[in-house]
Every structure is written in structure tokens, then in C-alpha cells.
């Protein structure tokens, strides 16, 4: 399975600022997924990042708030823009190397607190 | 509506006791089924997965899960719980029958292990 390096692992940010989260994968992958896990809740998909094309966002998430870059097949960033306390969550990236039947690997997550 | 349900929000078991965590899904066809574990402050680790074949699936850390088509269930079990099993457990579904490339997660079950 893939190994994902996600950073930062945690951050405390002032409201109104932006934070960029990075995910580096040790294998080339077509799709990378970004999830949000709000306190005490499950994971919700923010967007799917494909190399060479615009990310596909889920309902309730917009590119201006969560811009995503995917410059190559092993790297992606998610930016949380103009943050408010409601953005305090764990953000996780995920990939699947061999297709959905093999399961998905997750990064260790970024715990974001907005004050 | 398509969904994955974990009926138990929080379960407490004694160390050495057996464990069963419930998961039910509602899809037109059997999706791929996964169990993940999230330890405090950590990312998600895949425990086991099912997409076809033997309905009793063995995973890591002594966990197993049984797929029951008639009940649309994929319950996670462990015969003897260890204190280190205390964590959040997520059931997830994926695969072509979901109509998406990503995973869909249940709300999670928090496991507390008491001495």
C-alpha cells in the first residue's frame, strides 16, 4: 500500500488567514481525495484531485474556500482560505493505488484549530 | 437513500471481553466494505476489507468481520479486546455501485476499554 506524508500535523491559526496542507505520496496515483472530519463527527469528502485537471468538489464545498493543487501524480495541496472557527477540523488526504477494491490509504491528518 | 450506518455511537467493554461493532449499508447492490480504525490524534488505518468471496474476512490486529447479504451488514468482531484497541472505528463503503470513486463513511463507533 502507499505511504502518505501529510503536513503540518497540526496548527493553530487566526481567523481570516489561510493554511495550506500538503500531501506527498510515495507512489504515482491518479486520484487523491481530501476529507474533512469535524470534531466528534465522521469523514466528509471535500473534493477529488486529479492530476492535470480541476478538482471536483462535493456539494457544500467551493473552490474559493478550499483551493486544491495537483501539480503531479505524487503531490497535492489543500488550502483552507479565510478561516473561521467553524473550519476547525481534522483534514485528511487519501489515495488508492490499485483501485477501489484494495482500499484506501490515509495520511495522518492535519488537526486545525482556528481562533 | 444510499447510506452506511453504525448504530452504536459509543461502546465500553472490559479488557479481555469480546467485541462486536455493527455496520449496516443501504445500496442497490453490495458495495465494497471496509473497516478503519482511528486512534487518538492519528489518521485512519485499514483493518480489513470485503468485496467478494468468503464472507468471513480476517484483518489485522486480530479483527475479523462477517458480511451478511440478507442483513446488509458487515459487523466487526474481536474475541478478546486489548486496552490498545481503544479508538474510533469507522465502517466505510466504496466501489462502482456507489456511483463514486471515494469512500462513504459511517458516523463511527468510539470504543472504550476498561481494565
pLDDT tens digits along B13-58: 999 999 999 999 988 788 889 999 999 878 899 999 998 888 999 9
Mean pLDDT, chain A, integer = 92
Question: Measured in Å, how far apart are chain B's first and last C-alpha atoms?
Answer: 41
pLDDT band at residue A50 under the 50/70/90 scheme: confident
Contacts of A102 in chain B (CB under 8 A): 49
Of A11-25, A98-112, B45-59, B89-103, the range with the lowest mean pLDDT is A98-112
Burial per residue of A78-94, b for 16 or more beta-carbon CB atoms within 10 angstroms, e otherwise: bebbebeeebbbbbbbb
Inter-chain residue contact A109 with B34, CB threshold 8 Å: no
Is A101's CB within 8 Å of B49's CB?
A: yes
pLDDT of residue A86: 96
DSSP secondary structure string, B57-72?
Answer: EE-GGG-EEEEEGGGT
CB contact under 8 A, B43 and A100: no
Neighboring chain B residues of A112 at a CB cutoff of 8 Å: none
Q: Is a pLDDT exceeding 70 seen at residue B6?
A: yes
CA distance B7 to A108: 26
- Using one digit for the tens of pLDDT, what is the confidence trace for A65-108? 999 999 999 999 999 999 999 999 999 999 987 655 567 889 99
Higher pLDDT, A112 or B54: A112
Q: How many residues does chain B have?
A: 115
- pLDDT at res. B95: 79
Q: Could A106 and B36 be called an inter-chain contact, meaning their C-beta atoms sit closer than 8 Å? A: yes
Show residues of chain A in contact with B105, CB under 8 Å. Answer: 42-44
pLDDT above 60: residue B104: yes
Q: How far apart are CA B91 and CA B78, in angstroms?
A: 15
Give the contacts of B53 (CB within 8 A, at least 6 positions apart): none
Amino acid at each position: 500500500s502507499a505511504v502518505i506524508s501529510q503536513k503540518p500535523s497540526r496548527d493553530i491559526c487566526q481567523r481570516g488567514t489561510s493554511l495550506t496542507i500538503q500531501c506527498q505520496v510515495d507512489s504515482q496515483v491518479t486520484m487523491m481525495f481530501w476529507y474533512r472530519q469535524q470534531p466528534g463527527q465522521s469523514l466528509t469528502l471535500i473534493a477529488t484531485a486529479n492530476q492535470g485537471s480541476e478538482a471536483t468538489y462535493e456539494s457544500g464545498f467551493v473552490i474559493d474556500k478550499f483551493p486544491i493543487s495537483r501539480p503531479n501524480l505524487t503531490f497535492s495541496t489543500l488550502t483552507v482560505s479565510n478561516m473561521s472557527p467553524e473550519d476547525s477540523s481534522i483534514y485528511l488526504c487519501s489515495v488508492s493505488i490499485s483501485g477501489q477494491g484494495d482500499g484506501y490509504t490515509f495520511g495522518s491528518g492535519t488537526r486545525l484549530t482556528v481562533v | 437513500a444510499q447510506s452506511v450506518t453504525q448504530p452504536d455511537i459509543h461502546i465500553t467493554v472490559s479488557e479481555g471481553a469480546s467485541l462486536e461493532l455493527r455496520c449496516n449499508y443501504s445500496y442497490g447492490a453490495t458495495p465494497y466494505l471496509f473497516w478503519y480504525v482511528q486512534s487518538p490524534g492519528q489518521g485512519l488505518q485499514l483493518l480489513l476489507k470485503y468485496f467478494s468471496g468468503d464472507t468471513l474476512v480476517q484483518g489485522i490486529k486480530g479483527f475479523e468481520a462477517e458480511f451478511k447479504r440478507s442483513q446488509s451488514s458487515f459487523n466487526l468482531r474481536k474475541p478478546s479486546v486489548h486496552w490498545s484497541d481503544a479508538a474510533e472505528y469507522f465502517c466505510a463503503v466504496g466501489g462502482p455501485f456507489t456511483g463514486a470513486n471515494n469512500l462513504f463513511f459511517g458516523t463511527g463507533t468510539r470504543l472504550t476499554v476498561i481494565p
